[in-house]
Amino acid sequence: MRVSSLIACTLCLFPLGCTSGSSVNGSGGTGGAEPMRCADYDPGLRVLWGETHVHTRLSLDAFWFNSLAGPREALQFAKGGTIGVACEDRTVACDTRQLDRPLDFAAITDHAEFLGTFDEQCRRDDPAAACSAVEQFILNNINELIEGNNNNIVELLNTLFPDRAPSTDVWAQMIADAELENDPCDFTAFAAYEFSPLFNGSTVHRNVLFMGNDLPENVFEFTGVENEWDFFDHLEAECGSSDDCDYVTIPHNPNLAAGRMFFPVGTPEIFAGRNKGPLTPEDAALRARNDVVVEIHQLKGQSECMPGFGFDGLSNDEVDMDCFFENNKPYCTGSPLDSPRCLPPEDTICSSITSNQLEEAVPFSCSAPNDFMRGALAEGLKARNVVGVNPYQFGVIGATDQHNANPGDTKEEGYIGAAGVLDNSPEVQLGRWSCELDDPECTERQFERTVAFSNNPGGLAAVWAPENTRAAIFEALRAKRTYSTSGPRMEVRSYARFGEFPADFCEKLSAGETPVESGSIDAVMMGAVLPAGLTGSPRFAIWAAQDVNSAPLERIQIIKGTLEESGEVQTEVITIAGAPDGPSPNQDCTVDATARPETLCATWEDAEFDPNEDAYYYARILEQPTCRWSTRRCVTQGVNCADLDPADGTFSSESGNAGYEGCCEISGSPGSFDGVNRFDVIRERAWTSPIWYESPI
């Protein structure tokens, strides 16, 4: 029985053909039916805000972190509802969450691996012995799970649950939940899941969003899968060959892939294709069709760039200072912006993975330039010259990857952590003292920033679409008419053309006019390829409006990558609008918005354009500095680090701040510890999908 038939049986009480209150000439509601056109259809396109990566209690890890909600509750949360969150008591909710503004669309992406197994077989009110063993093992070995060294965990699960039920019914219910919550013209829900392979410490994960009524009858797990090509082949066989099924795959966290997400292309020793061989044009085209957008920002950090050593695409003597933002595995550069968890470069830089290294384990801290957007985009330019197709011509979106079933919950203020009871205490989020086992007096204590300190609330996906329906949003994803933010809802439009933009183009955009979309100006939007055969230099126009619930805008930058005759890619960062640096937030985390514009807009000509060189261009829009979530938590708590006990560097239980030592920079030794309040700030931002130029081959 295909899933479409299962849905029909599940939804028999909800007749097809009901009319959405805001739709015209069509049906809305269940079964995937959509209106022919919504009443608020906008040919000038409008921005829709969404979430494409979030987990509920159906996921292996989120279940044990005590996520209390399932997919349908998560979708209802995205629409403006509330969910419960567990704290110290792992069985009941101690707090509730609610978005300040509902989302326009969402996809719940529970892990395909062991999908729903523990929610089905390990009820909290009557756990089996095997379930208790798994819970204890996972919580005792959580670092292995976080770092991708999950072979022992998977082996234990397969041993304890050899006859686990297939996930077919769970997946069918997830699809049914998406159908029930899908409300064309008002809210769009996609059926989706996450494919989560872990190769020797490398996370090479993808979310899959489906479109249509003839979806695969089951999810695809990583067991026995050697690389992404098996996954792509499965999706093509199960969905791509159907007349009523389509899909896109969304790679995420390439910053944690240790060189294995975006392989280099070119020589026999360095591969990117199936069977550990060089990339073929056919496989490059398949990958480009599947990986339409990439998750550039989420709770485990941003994947745009890391400062220095080629990780920002610049030469070694240049540093993009804005690449210091939310790096998950940073190395120490000597800058005051270095993360407290940074490591020496020799411990964090790995060379590109070659074919004879695929089966080798790599350090969890290892990163390669292609783990970041700029490196991957550059490799795509090189690949086109090798195989004739750019496999890495992707757009960008943001997401949260939250494991509390709270899609789109991206506010820095009130951040609760990302993994239920695993990281919701201050000492886990902010840092804590550690002592050696052979030092019971803890005389050689060290203060450690945990992995949770490097996490953040995550980002949002933005798409430009004429209406809020599955078809319109899916088409926008395919067209890469998308961008990402680090959480705020700033609006960004980007265009490119050969020839000047009208002098009043920015004024028209700020007035709500859309000359490109209306056809009065010939230009392409974000995600497109500039037309070939035209003369002159390309010009770009970037318009951005601040999120009224966030900070003012600071500047607009264009990042350009050019494939030069030498075969290397030269990267430039060009500021085209705004001030270089805004004022820091006040000590109470309020922001001085004096004389700051609500919108920024500028046009720029690439005067150094060479029509014989492939290139990419994307925009980065920065907000004025604001307090990071960790600073906000400390300010809200009212922590004064001068109150630390000099004997052991902790706060007394009477102070009410015990566990908040991570709010402090602590110096000294037992008996003379001293603390100074940390004040970490960030620049929230947006990244647009690139616009490409392709030279004649």
Q: What is the pLDDT of residues 178-216, one digit of tens each?
A: 999 999 999 999 999 999 987 766 788 999 999 999 999
Of 163, 152, 157, the residue nearest 130 (C-alpha): 157
Give SS3 for 561: strand
Q: pLDDT per residue over 214-228, tens digit each?
A: 999 999 988 766 678
Q: Name the residue with higher pLDDT: 600 or 88.
A: 600
DSSP 8-state class, residue 529: B
Work out the mean pLDDT of the chain and round it to a whole number. Answer: 87
Q: Give whole-number Cα distances, 368 to 212, 254, 313, 319, 563, in Å.
A: 37, 10, 12, 17, 19
Which residue blocks in 299-425 are alpha helix, DSSP H?
345-348, 373-387
What token pair was written down for 55? Answer: 């987990």
Tally of CB atoms within 10 A around 550: 20
Check pLDDT > 90 for residue 172.
yes
| Residue 670 confidence (pLDDT) | 86
Q: What is the pLDDT of residues 331-354, one digit of tens each?
A: 888 888 898 888 887 766 775 555
Whether 125 and 94 have beta carbons less than 8 Å apart is answered as no
Three-state secondary structure call for residue 129 = helix
- Could you write out the DSSP letters of every residue in 583-646? PPPPTTS----TT--SEEEEEEE-TT--TTS-EEEEEEEEEPPEE-HHHHHHHHHT--GGGS-T
Q: How much is the average pLDDT of 605-629? A: 97
**345 and 331 in contact (C-beta within 8 Å)?**
yes
Other beta carbons within 10 Å of 520: 11
> Would you say residue 478 has pLDDT above 70?
yes
Q: Which pLDDT score, from 0 to 100, does residue 6 have?
A: 35
Domain limits of the chain? 420-454+629-679, 490-628+680-697
Check residue 126 and give its pLDDT.
58
Q: Which of 277-291, 517-531, 683-697 has the lowest mean pLDDT?
A: 277-291
Secondary structure of residue 526 in the 3-state scheme: coil
Q: What is the pLDDT of residues 639-658, one digit of tens each?
A: 999 999 999 899 999 999 99
pLDDT at residue 506 is higher than 90: yes
Q: Characterize the bridge pairing of strands 432-434 and 37-38.
A: unpaired
- Cα distance between residue 348 and residue 336, in whole Å: 19
Q: Which residues contact 282 (CB under 8 A, 6 or more apart)?
A: none
Q: Is the pLDDT of residue 15 over 70?
A: no
CB of 141 closer than 8 Å to CB of 153: yes
139 pLDDT above the threshold of 90: no
Stretch 493-509: mean pLDDT: 97
Q: How far is CA 573 from CA 146, 318, 577, 617, 649, in A?
A: 33, 11, 12, 10, 43
Using the structure block, give the residue that is written with the tokens 């969304």.
Answer: 250
pTM, full prediction: 0.92
User: What letter represents residue 546's amino acid?
Assistant: Q
- In degrees rounded to 5, what are phi and psi of residue 284? -60, -40
CATH class of 490-628+680-697: mainly beta
Q: Give the list of residues 6+ apart from residue 507 with CB closer than 8 angstroms, or none.
A: none
Q: Which distant-in-sequence residues (6+ apart) come within 8 Å of 550 by Cβ?
A: 487, 488, 489, 490, 623, 626, 684
| Pair 207, 461: CB distance under 8 Å | no
